[in-house]
Amino acid sequence: MLKPIPSFIYSRANQIFMILFVPFFALIFISIYRPFDFDRVGDIINAHIGISHESMMMLTALIMVVSGMAIGAISRTIMGSYTKRHTLSYLGYIVWILGEIGVMATIFTLFTLFTNIAKPMPELFRSTFTKTVLIVFIPYTISYIYFILKDKINELKTLRKQIDRDETVLQKAYIQILDEKNEMRLSIRRENLLLIESADNYVCVYYLNGGKTKKSMVRNTIGRIAEHLQGTRIVRCHRSYMINLDHAQILHRDKEGVFIELGLDGVPDIPISKTYADNVREWLVNRD
């Protein structure tokens, strides 16, 4: 019970909500069920004021509710100042609420004296206190359920944003290799992907795993793979090859053309065709 209550319970917005919602609910409840026995209220006062019995009952209920609203506003203002310097536990919060209800019950007891003069004050207060608890229990409970639900929704939104950020980071850190049905077959860290080689209706993906060169076959065309990886450092340099330019070590020319060497065992030299030469040339110009 000494565990501190969540701060959202007594946040400014939620306190204002309670100050407005609880009296509104109480006014409707009192008007419909008349728990304070207003049937004999103010016959003498009615004669002087000249308003109907029903109007006098409604006016009395309104005055009681406004009084309760004022008590709640004062209490919540004090609570707001208190919680800026102190931690409010569950037990402390329950005691605080009971104090609110006690003050309200005292005010309401004074109103009910107009109709129950014959009852002793302690008995009248006990009855009024019990009725006040019953009146505010429902709106208090609804308010707390609403606060908890709103907080959970906010937490869920925050979690979704974090997941989106994490997915963005993962997307930047990993290369997804899809098959012909656009289903992911390989997910490789960007720095571990070496090259992709066309093999008819398949592609052969070369990558590093534990410092060793591995390769895996995926059913898809290199053209579709190139479209999916557009904008990454994995660029097409030949009709049969895509290469991770970050792994390029040597660029050399011989009688058969221009080639890129990765300097890794088991990885062939990659030819650069004139059609895709601009892709590699752009990398050479922009490379740090």
pLDDT in tens, 69-86: 899 889 988 998 888 888
Q: What pLDDT is attached to residue 52? A: 66
Instruction: Give the residue from 262, 256, 219, 226 showing the smallest Cα distance to 241.
Output: 226
Check residues 17 and 166 and name the one with the higher pLDDT: 17
Residue type, 272: I
Where residue 38 falls among pLDDT bands split at 50, 70, 90? low
Rounded distance between C-alpha atoms, residue 154 and residue 206, angstroms:
44
Rounded distance between C-alpha atoms, residue 75 and residue 97, angstroms:
9
- Give me the mean pLDDT over the 177-192 stretch: 90
Rounded distance between C-alpha atoms, residue 196 and residue 239, angstroms:
11
Chain-centroid distance of CA 198 in Å reads: 45
Which regions of the chain does DSSP assign to beta strands (E)?
174-178, 184-189, 193-199, 202-209, 212-219, 234-238, 241-244, 250-254, 257-261, 270-272
pTM: 0.56
Lowest mean pLDDT: which of 19-23, 107-111, 155-159?
107-111
The CATH class, in words, for 179-286 is mainly beta
Q: Which two tokens stand for residue 25?
A: 């609910």
251 beta partners: 260
Q: What pLDDT is attached to residue 198? A: 93
Residue 259 pLDDT > 60: yes
Check residues 29 and 284 and name the one with the higher pLDDT: 29
Q: Which two tokens stand for residue 125?
A: 């207060």
Where residue 145 falls among pLDDT bands split at 50, 70, 90? very high
Stretch(es) of the chain classified as CATH 2.40.50.1020: 179-286
Rounded to the nearest integer, the mean pLDDT of the chain is 83
3-state secondary structure of 113: coil
